[in-house]
Amino acid sequence: MKTKVLTFLLLLLLLASTDAAYGFRFNVGGFAGLNFPVAQDDAKMGTVFGLKTRLPLIPFIGVEPNFTYMKNGDAEIMIEAEGWNTTMRRESGKFTNFGVDVLFGSIMGRTGLNIYGIAGISSSKYARSVDAIPDLTKIGIWGGVGLDYGINSQWAVEVRGKVLVFPYDDGKDTGSRKNGILTVGLSYFIGQEGVL
């Protein structure tokens, strides 16, 4: 995973350092927040953080390659069987996602308030840190909405709500895990405002 993250960062730096980078407008940014497992007794609210770069294709549509790491909070289970009647903690899983989102709406980083929709896919790995239980790597599906506030032509703060659907089907087992995430982020736009 470290290699993938380093490669991602290197590509971002490379992109930002080219002359061509200033011929169009794009951004790089990071975000952090909370994740909320949906209908999962075996996971609780946890943390999320990530990196992304926004590449506008046309004024209202852009793509965002991104890396998102999510750690579910540990679940608590009441053991009701005879002889116990006690609450125990169960270490929960973590998701590592390398994805691409499509953004549609006000995505060009204009000063002031901008709102846009998000739909994406990712290569997502769910790991439990238990040797006997294999990690699952599947295609994750994302959707959500984002709100940017452009402080000036370069900097913007953002708030996003997204949902990850992590479906799995290995021939025997089928199912899915869903997580909502709420993040706050900071982006730096490269290129002049009003230029694609």
Partner 1 sequence: MKRSILIFMGLLLLFSGCIVTGNLFIEILIGNLSVNVDQTFASAFVDLNDYEDYVDHREDINSVDDMGFVCRIHNSGNNAATGQVWVSLAEDIDELPKDKVLLLSGLTVAPGATKEITLNESYDYLQHFEETRDIILSEKFSVFFTSQTTPFELEIRDLVMILSVNGKP
Does 89 help bind partner 1 (rule: CB under 8 A)? yes
Residue of the chain from 12, 40, 73, 127 that contacts partner 1 (CB under 8 A): 40
CB of 43 to partner 1, least distance (A): 7
x/- contact string, 107-146, with partner 1 (CB under 8 A)? --------xxx-x--------x-xxxxx------x-x-x-
Does 39 help bind partner 1 (rule: CB under 8 A)? yes
The single-letter code of the amino acid at 151 is I
Does 81 help bind partner 1 (rule: CB under 8 A)? yes
Residue of the chain from 5, 38, 100, 159 that contacts partner 1 (CB under 8 A): 38
Of 6, 8, 12, 11, the closest CA to residue 27 belongs to: 12
Does 167 help bind partner 1 (rule: CB under 8 A)? yes
Strand partners, 137: 125
Other CB atoms closer than 10 Å to residue 23's CB: what's the count? Answer: 11
Kind of pairing, strands 94-105 and 86-90?
A: unpaired
State the number of binding residues for partner 1 (CB under 8 A).
44
- What is the CA 27 to chain-centroid distance, rounded? 16
Could you tell me which residues come within 8 angstroms of residue 109 by beta carbon, excluding any fewer than 6 positions away? 25, 27, 54, 148, 150, 153, 156, 187, 189, 193
- CA dist., res. 49 & res. 66, Å (int): 11
**What is the binding site for partner 1 (CB under 8 A)?**
38-43, 77, 79-84, 88-91, 104-106, 115-117, 119, 128, 130-134, 141, 143, 145, 163, 165, 167-168, 172-178
